[in-house]
Structure 1
């Protein structure tokens, strides 16, 4: 089993299964314990590993040398394709879960009795007899799919025969038999996905089919345990369907006691991520020497990241985790992207963040498609681009709700914010009585039903999930410019009260030059600084054409922001040469980096000025390490430079720790800032 396995269908036989990748919560552990069979329904939304858990149960059954498992040729019994219903059949199956319970019971009974050789002498209807005598049908799903072709009257007759003839024989089975069923939700997906397509193309459709097919299986799996304790049915169903049980049966509590609800804490998700890192080879690590003691540090090369806007240091896995919906599948998506980077690329903070955000966008698109069948009437694709920013006040929410429902003409209002809250894409700020602090709260996928009830928790602020940032930002670029510079949005994070969000801050990825006159203090003490100041000012004025921003500071330093690495390198060389012509031949130290730059406009005029950003900080920290009269560039700038034709050569600069420099500011509390540096030469 390879690292970052997204789809459990890749596990086809027991030998493909790697138990080290299965994280055992207490509930999962009780489900997998060989002598515990009181939990037999696995419930979760997509992405939580229902199929993996069900396959693990089957494999552990086999390892215990337990006889009798169905299906015999595969680990799980799964239908493929889809089913087209006529109008009469749809009316029958969409009415309630009862027809499905009868159908599942017949399919399970037929498969089980055929498996143990207990079908001789059965006196049942001709259609059911034909099904039982067909030696091409072996598994439960084989029989289930064929039963779907029966007419409603034939199914009712088969149900009567099952109760009168098949069930008594089921009671008599003495040998243990375990049946594993998965994928029922996928088989009937089109009933919730394509309701706006003509029935002539898809057949008759009803969302109830998707729900009732799964609920019927749950009911039968529970009832069969009462018929014969040797017969066990293990099945995976979607949590969205399972949530409807209380509306359909008074047995909901009993059924709930038979289900394992897959939920992972952040600590469990961390362990899942680390387990996958351990499957990678050492040569894929940034710091292979730490693989045994700290796999995350070995893989990512850093323990913390600096938030672009708040400048707050964030634990690196916390950053990864808040760009997911707390589902194992999301971590696999991010992990696979990060593992595809070369170790030196992964060490680059900007590249790491970029890949995490690309993966988050992929996760968001997939999740929006997943929930669309249940919330399509709310027109989320039209609504999301209207959001002005990732933090909204109560007043803004009410105005946006009213605008989205304008012109509804008495129709039921579209509770878009309630829907986003229910599916975990909208959080809110609430006071945590245990912690005594204001914290951010998001529901997890599957934690609430998908039917928005029009009730949104009252709060001062509402928070848009980070996975939606690029999805909304591509349609509404202004969304990405309205950034809170105090709070990081994420599950369970503390909330700090702030004034209004600074809407004017803009973030771009650009090239930055930071330069400083070496020994300028000595020139000032000797009174020889004026010609140098003038030379620097004139050189910058002469060569700054094309730069996005040019700032000269204190007469001895400058910062230039440019979108072209070749042009900026040439600018650096020209300025250095011109300043060197001043009296005393002053030498500049120059540092180049490529990364995020924050800018804003001055309130008194339209001039754009630097507001911060990783690239500004990095060049400021690198520049003091540069040899006077030289231009040094980071790995990020070198990579950007290599993408364009030029005569510039880059030579690695050996650092005190091998090929890297720790350029953090000495004497402070800043985290380590490790960089690879290169000397630029023509």
Structure 2
């Protein structure tokens, strides 16, 4: 803990450096040593801070670890930092992070090391979501043991193995395992080789750690390391591995000690029995753990290999455990879900707080004071957590030092009596609407509050000071004389004064309070929270200015006296709206809460395990949800996410309601009903209250109900918005045409819906041209009711709002569109517009009473949706439906009945085919994709009927022919989905298809979707190679695709190709080095980014084209009678 002398500065980084050294801290955008640009803060450890950076010389992403500024001047720490780099660099293990560079920044004198940038999460974050299975644990421990074995072989002992130092790579399924781990942070290693070298060159051996000092994290430390860290051997790491394994399998720490003395006592007593902590452990684990952590060192495993062998043997006797099925009963929840941070026990904050990079930065940094975010993002939870960490840090010393540190308020941050604001008049409202005045009030309030908690500091010590005190109003003067107060209470007292009294007191007391606050030398922490909620009855400008004035006054106070620190929350809408000269200075001190969809899913997984003691999948007990009104299905979390506003609190509220219903079997219908009712009844109602200061129409419940009752569909056009506006305001359309188009208030109910995140728009990505849906997210600025809506071909009601409107309509006047999935970031394919128009025409003709035609239309739409959902291209699906007898009968009926508008809308969605022969093939096999058909209406490279060109396109569906086959497979597709999402995978596949159909020199005969790629048939190998090269040429990362070309006789169907040669093609793709016949050659498998060919494919090429290939070797391949040769295209130069 920092020494609390007069010249000290208060440390606000838990366990970290002081503000004296903060001036050399680097920030985003800074360039280290003229080469590495800092892009994003990742984490902080005992020795340094880790950033994602760009290597400007090599144009690649790296991780860079910068030594903590507070340690730079310490020679011992600098040597230890160098030792980490030296130790890690000596290791050549796939399970140790690779060190790329180690130097000292010449400008700032800060040592740094650069490493490979890893994608994924550390083990501590993964364990926050619950324990691992035995198989997952074995994967992690196996990799950990591989790394430590390499280290021990080189005389290196890690001494700080813990979950935070083990990194799980994202999506690494290429090794046949779910989890792949790498060891990080060799900052406190004991290197036997280096120690020996130091001893050889010195008359007195000098350790980098004081003799007898324990290094490492207490929870995972062996008792001998706790007693004397300098005299441990490799078995200290074995103890840590055992403790890690215990935590992976049980979700609990094996040892709970928080100090070395506690650890020695705990490890010297009876050992914890793992089976008493968790069920479903492998048989024999209790005995394995008891041996691994035996009191006597000699009774433990003697090596990493022996320890791992013993753990692996347990799996041979483990019985597989089955998770609960859809109707299985679950144990009762351990506690009720808490949607407000004030309901959470402070001792449970560590277990509940979800930490992404943004959260870690706030908790770890010594220069972050303000938390910015919309309602429901967890600002209070984070502020409370920060307070508890600081309290642990500063209350751990002797009583004198504890008494010197002040926390205001003395309890946890909470909403005080500010909500009981006295009635204020117009003058006070005007005052609170001015940023400068608000800043002065808060500056006064902070100083009074800080001085009131230090007895005797605020009281007048001389006659002059007593005279100064008399200028301050009596209730506030009492605070300076010993009555403790909080800043919000002081502000309330100020607002109780008349405008003249307030201004006079602020003017007269300014110099006196400035002198007093500068004389304060004891650490003082002030916390302000939920100010937005306390001020919610104020007009918008006052609501913004009071929050902005608060953080600017806090910043000024901290600049005046570095011993006083103010931590506060502020609504994102207020922070984004206000303007000020010093606002730019606040950004570096501000943490803006941001959560990705992946973050929210991990957060819900973690909270589910905490509250329910089961994983999310077992809690929901559903694998798949059929989405609204016949559209394609989705994962349960995706369904939940679409019904939220992208906030953690929304997830907690919904999960709480699911928990309430867990006594009954949860089927899909109950699950969807709970989600919809909860989102409609609680989330939507809450957001109107939270956004009250920004609303004019929708803040009134009756007006809001009257407006929502006018909505008839969940997807609206601009004309629909105009119609609703006219009816809501009671104006004729003629009035709108004359006056409404330019009027500021024309759309305001819809603008307010948009600002509340309940009305979405369709946006186009300028980079890709693709359209998607966008609903205002918590991080987006608020436009306000006087600004126009973003232009959009369609406006979309949020799924939660849809559920509310359907309740208001009683299932009558509101009709949602079918087969359209609405939600933030959901794609908006071009056919949605035509599908919606078909259903609009159905609604317009509802008075016809033609239920048969209506049923037939929805049947056609369902067929189309089914084809697209099964992976067919949109164009193929359209032509498949158009070629069915059901569609022909429907269009004939509509034509006979004169329903022309609906007939034309259907023909626009399902255009009639122009090729009679192709249509005949589709009718013969109506449910199969005819990939030889026209791929898009804009494609004009084929014959006159739009069919794909190329040799011999008239082949029948059962003709046998010698063809070239190109197999395209996306490498690590699971990693791709986890990183980018299912939608991006579909788009990637679509892009591949576009290249194949539009950019190929030779048009393909057949394109067939297979797994995570395509099987494409060409007339020549040259054509297949040209397409493969076109694909690779358009990729940033050529290794993301695996391409194989083969030649052979096959049967060609309308959309398929089959025969023994097709099976051989797939076998070729799987060939690996272990199947090689003979010694290795100059080229070894795999060959990422290069096309692989069979010998048959190479031999079918004209002789003059065979020069660009290299022979890999001969391999035994299943399906080939004899060993087969494999070739690869030469690397591009």
TM-score range, shorter chain: 0.5 to 0.7
Aligned equivalent of 1:84: 422
Aligned equivalent of 1:447: 780
Structure 1: gaps spanning 5 or more residues: 192-205, 283-293, 507-598, 614-682
Q: What does 1:74-153 correspond to in 2, within 5 Å? A: 74-76=412-414, 78-87=416-425, 89-90=427-428, 93-117=431-455, 120-121=461-462, 124-125=471-472, 127=474, 130-133=477-480, 135-153=482-500
Deviations 1:398-457 (A, max 9, x none): 433444455399884342323222221111222224454221111114512251343222
Deviations 1:87-135 (A, max 9, x none): 3652552451323222222221112122223764456445476333564
Pair 1:272 & 2:272 matched: no
TM-score by length of 1: 0.65
| 1:154 Cα deviation after fit | 2.6
Q: Distance in 1 between matches of 2:588 and 2:419?
A: 32
Aligned equivalent of 2:384: 55
| 1:159 Cα deviation after fit | 1.6
Q: Distance in 2 between matches of 1:263 and 1:119?
A: 47
Higher relative contact order (CA 8 A, sep 6+): 1
Aligned equivalent of 1:21: 352
Structure 1 residues 65, 448: closer, same or farther in 2, change over 3 A?
A: same
Q: Which of 549, 552, 558 in structure 2 is aligned with 1:225?
A: 558
Deviations 1:330-365 (A, max 9, x none): 111100000112355224544454444434432112
Aligned equivalent of 1:203: none
Structure 1 residues 186, 308: closer, same or farther in 2, change over 3 A?
A: closer
Deviations 1:487-516 (A, max 9, x none): 20011111223367879999xxxxxxxxxx
Q: Distance in 2 between matches of 1:243 and 1:450?
A: 11
| 1:211 Cα deviation after fit | 2.7
Aligned equivalent of 1:590: none
Pair 1:184 & 2:184 matched: no
- Work out whether residues 78 and 184 of structure 1, in 8 Å CA contact, stay in contact via their aligned partners in 2: no
Q: What does 1:504-543 correspond to in 2, within 5 Å? A: none
Q: Distance in 1 between matches of 2:816 and 2:426?
A: 55
Aligned equivalent of 2:709: 385
Aligned equivalent of 2:650: 330
Structure 1 residues 61, 3: closer, same or farther in 2, change over 3 A?
A: farther
| 1:32 Cα deviation after fit | 0.9
Structure 1 residues 503, 76: closer, same or farther in 2, change over 3 A?
A: closer
| 1:369 Cα deviation after fit | 3.2
TM-score by length of 2: 0.40
Deviations 1:632-665 (A, max 9, x none): xxxxxxxxxxxxxxxxxxxxxxxxxxxxxxxxxx
- Work out whether residues 338 and 352 of structure 1, in 8 Å CA contact, stay in contact via their aligned partners in 2: no
Point out the more displaced range, 405-414 or 426-435.
405-414
Q: Distance in 2 between matches of 1:328 and 1:109?
A: 35
Aligned length: 490
SS of alignment partner, residue 567 of structure 2: strand
| 1:604 Cα deviation after fit | 8.4
Q: Distance in 2 between matches of 1:458 and 1:242?
A: 26
- Work out whether residues 758 and 798 of structure 2, in 8 Å CA contact, stay in contact via their aligned partners in 1: yes
- Work out whether residues 798 and 822 of structure 2, in 8 Å CA contact, stay in contact via their aligned partners in 1: yes
Deviations 1:292-337 (A, max 9, x none): xx82211111222112423412011000011010111111110000
Q: Which of 639, 643, 646 in structure 2 is aligned with 1:319?
A: 639
Q: Distance in 1 between matches of 2:419 and 2:832?
A: 55
Q: What does 1:177-576 correspond to in 2, within 5 Å? A: 177-191=524-538, 206-246=539-579, 249-282=580-613, 295-342=615-662, 344-377=664-697, 379-405=703-729, 407=731, 412-445=745-778, 447-477=780-810, 482-498=815-831
Q: Which of 378, 393, 411 in structure 2 is aligned with 1:64?
A: 393
Q: Which of 812, 837, 851 in structure 2 is aligned with 1:601?
A: 851
Q: Distance in 1 between matches of 2:426 and 2:720?
A: 48
Q: Distance in 1 between matches of 2:424 and 2:692?
A: 25
Structure 1 residues 325, 164: closer, same or farther in 2, change over 3 A?
A: same
- Work out whether residues 558 and 564 of structure 2, in 8 Å CA contact, stay in contact via their aligned partners in 1: yes
Q: Distance in 1 between matches of 2:473 and 2:757?
A: 51
SS of alignment partner, residue 417 of structure 2: coil
Q: Distance in 2 between matches of 1:265 and 1:228?
A: 37
Deviations 1:557-579 (A, max 9, x none): xxxxxxxxxxxxxxxxxxxxxxx
- Work out whether residues 385 and 472 of structure 1, in 8 Å CA contact, stay in contact via their aligned partners in 2: yes
SS of alignment partner, residue 666 of structure 2: helix
Q: Distance in 2 between matches of 1:361 and 1:466?
A: 12
Structure 1 residues 213, 478: closer, same or farther in 2, change over 3 A?
A: same
Q: Distance in 2 between matches of 1:380 and 1:140?
A: 37
| 1:609 Cα deviation after fit | 11
Structure 1 residues 108, 473: closer, same or farther in 2, change over 3 A?
A: same
Point out the more displaced range, 320-329 or 417-426.
417-426
| 1:143 Cα deviation after fit | 2.7
Aligned equivalent of 1:8: 341
| 1:268 Cα deviation after fit | 1.1
Deviations 1:41-81 (A, max 9, x none): 22222211121111111111112126321112444573344
Structure 1 residues 16, 352: closer, same or farther in 2, change over 3 A?
A: farther
| 1:280 Cα deviation after fit | 3.2
Q: Distance in 1 between matches of 2:779 and 2:859?
A: 45
Q: Distance in 2 between matches of 1:433 and 1:504?
A: 26
- Work out whether residues 49 and 329 of structure 1, in 8 Å CA contact, stay in contact via their aligned partners in 2: yes
Q: Distance in 2 between matches of 1:502 and 1:317?
A: 27
Structure 1 residues 435, 79: closer, same or farther in 2, change over 3 A?
A: farther
Q: Distance in 2 between matches of 1:269 and 1:163?
A: 46
Q: Distance in 2 between matches of 1:415 and 1:142?
A: 37
Q: Which of 170, 182, 189 in structure 1 is aligned with 2:517?
A: 170
| 1:605 Cα deviation after fit | 10
Aligned equivalent of 1:155: 502
SS of alignment partner, residue 616 of structure 2: helix
SS of alignment partner, residue 256 of structure 1: helix
- Work out whether residues 361 and 468 of structure 1, in 8 Å CA contact, stay in contact via their aligned partners in 2: no
Structure 1 residues 234, 114: closer, same or farther in 2, change over 3 A?
A: same
- Work out whether residues 105 and 162 of structure 1, in 8 Å CA contact, stay in contact via their aligned partners in 2: no
Structure 1 residues 17, 451: closer, same or farther in 2, change over 3 A?
A: same
